[in-house]
Structure 1
Amino acid sequence: MSGEAFLGPQEAARIREGIAAAVLGAPEGLAESLEHDSDGYLRLVDASRVGAEEAGRLLREAVQGARASGHSWDAVGRVLGVSRQAAQQRFADKPADALPSAASPYLPGAPERRILSPLSAVNEMAALAEAGRMGWHLIGYGALHHEVELSDRPWEHCRVTLASAGRQRRLEAEGWIPVGAGWFPWRYYKRPLSPAKN
């Protein structure tokens, strides 16, 4: 079964070339070692394994993002070139975990926490903006939800694509705090808006 293509052949080729370049280029000296060192090929296998694991994680998060944005299992299956049932069996029961909480909300004195749900890429920033005005800040996220913690100050939140390394550096230089490692394709940031209330 052939998938419904949303990318052109050149776009698909650039992605394939980028993955190959990352696998060959990330381990120091890997590409050069393949000319003279048989152990280089074992390093290549290991680097390819890491690349495949990351590609699998990105695919799971992309599918969860498509579902959270309102796309049906049928639409997801068409893009993947599989049936609705096959897509649902592969991805529905394997949601990625939210980032772990640093403290249990049930411990005495622990900050109050709340789950904002259901969320999608379309409405999550508006939900975070509203929560931030009331003193809630992002501490974790996962498929269809964000976890926020109450503080004594208002917060602002933003997101950028994981491919925006330059913008990420600028945000961090401006005092934005990264939250977690990102949820493909987004990286989330928060920043307090004013000093704490006395």
Structure 2
Amino acid sequence: MNGEREPLLGPEETARVRDGIAAAVLGAREDLAASLEHDPDGYLRLVAASRVGAEEASRLLREAVQGARAAGHSWDSVGRVLGVSRQAAQQRFAGKAADASASRPPAGGPGTAERRILSPLSAFNEMAALAEAGREGWHLVGYGALFHEVEASDHPWEHCRVTLASGGRHRRMEAEGWTPVGAGWFPWRYYKRPLTTPADHNHNH
């Protein structure tokens, strides 16, 4: 052992990510790849699809960094993975966590259900926190880096999360009555499902 850590991604894994992004961009429209043989506008569509891909990759990186920080990794560790200094990583990503507005329904007027924030949370304790909240009648309505927002109801809920890559599983879950909450917080998509028994309101925080 020379004291150096093995690369987090090997050459084949790196190539797989790159090939996957290229395939997603070229697959944005069924005829996009074929149109590049004869249609000049195909290249403009390729630019448009590549722009969306770049924006999405930037968003995923931002959320992945926030997830690593929530998992307890230092800015030094994050910077090493990114190939930049601790200061550069912190300046680029600290305080830029996407808020939950895209994953939160609009607030209602008077008489709407009570809401509260569960925080601080990480990938390692968030599901236990949601399980406890669900037993007490709270269900997930929004989330972001280090927190979940829940809303009160008169019946218990169950919550689960699956990776965003699990396309077939998402469809099965929705057929089984699970409702997706928001668009996901990389790498997770969150679901909730109401239960029929009365909520347990005996536990207060």
- The reply to whether TM is greater than 0.5 is yes
Q: Distance in 2 between matches of 1:85 and 1:5?
A: 22
State the 1:25 CA deviation: 1.0
The aligned residue for residue 100 of structure 1 is 104
Output one character per residue of 1:47-69: Cα deviation in whole Å (capped at 9) or x when no partner. Answer: 10000000000000000000011
Identity of aligned residues (%): 80
The aligned residue for residue 128 of structure 2 is 126
SS in 2 for 1:138: strand
Q: Distance in 1 between matches of 2:106 and 2:154?
A: 18
Q: Distance in 2 between matches of 1:71 and 1:14?
A: 25
The aligned residue for residue 70 of structure 2 is 68
Output one character per residue of 1:133-184: Cα deviation in whole Å (capped at 9) or x when no partner. Answer: 0000000000000000000000000000001111111111110111011110
The aligned residue for residue 172 of structure 1 is 174
Per mean C-alpha deviation after superposition, the further-off stretch among 132-141 and 166-175 is: 166-175
- How many residue pairs match? The answer is 192
State the 1:28 CA deviation: 2.9
Output one character per residue of 1:53-109: Cα deviation in whole Å (capped at 9) or x when no partner. Answer: 0000000000000001111111000000000000000000311011234225xx420
The aligned residue for residue 202 of structure 2 is none
Q: Distance in 2 between matches of 1:109 and 1:195?
A: 24
Q: Distance in 1 between matches of 2:14 and 2:148?
A: 32
Q: Distance in 2 between matches of 1:33 and 1:196?
A: 58
Instruction: Please report the TM-score for the alignment, with normalisation by the length of structure 1.
Output: 0.93
Q: Distance in 2 between matches of 1:165 and 1:82?
A: 34
The aligned amino acid for 1:53 is E
2:190 to 188, 191, 195: 188
Instruction: Please report the TM-score for the alignment, with normalisation by the length of structure 2.
Output: 0.90
Q: Distance in 1 between matches of 2:197 and 2:110?
A: 25
Contact 1:5 1:79 in 2 (8 A): no
Contact 2:104 2:182 in 1 (8 A): no
The aligned amino acid for 2:156 is P
State the 1:195 CA deviation: 5.8
Output one character per residue of 1:17-38: Cα deviation in whole Å (capped at 9) or x when no partner. Answer: 0100010111231101110111
Q: How does 1:1-198 map to 2 (within 5 A)?
A: 5-98=7-100, 99-104=103-108, 107-194=109-196
Give the superposed CA RMSD.
1.3
Runs of 4+ aligned residues of structure 1 deviating over 3 Å after TM superposition are none
Gaps (5+ residues) in structure 2?
A: 1-5, 200-205
Output one character per residue of 1:108-132: Cα deviation in whole Å (capped at 9) or x when no partner. Answer: 2010000000000000000000000
Gaps (5+ residues) in structure 1?
A: none
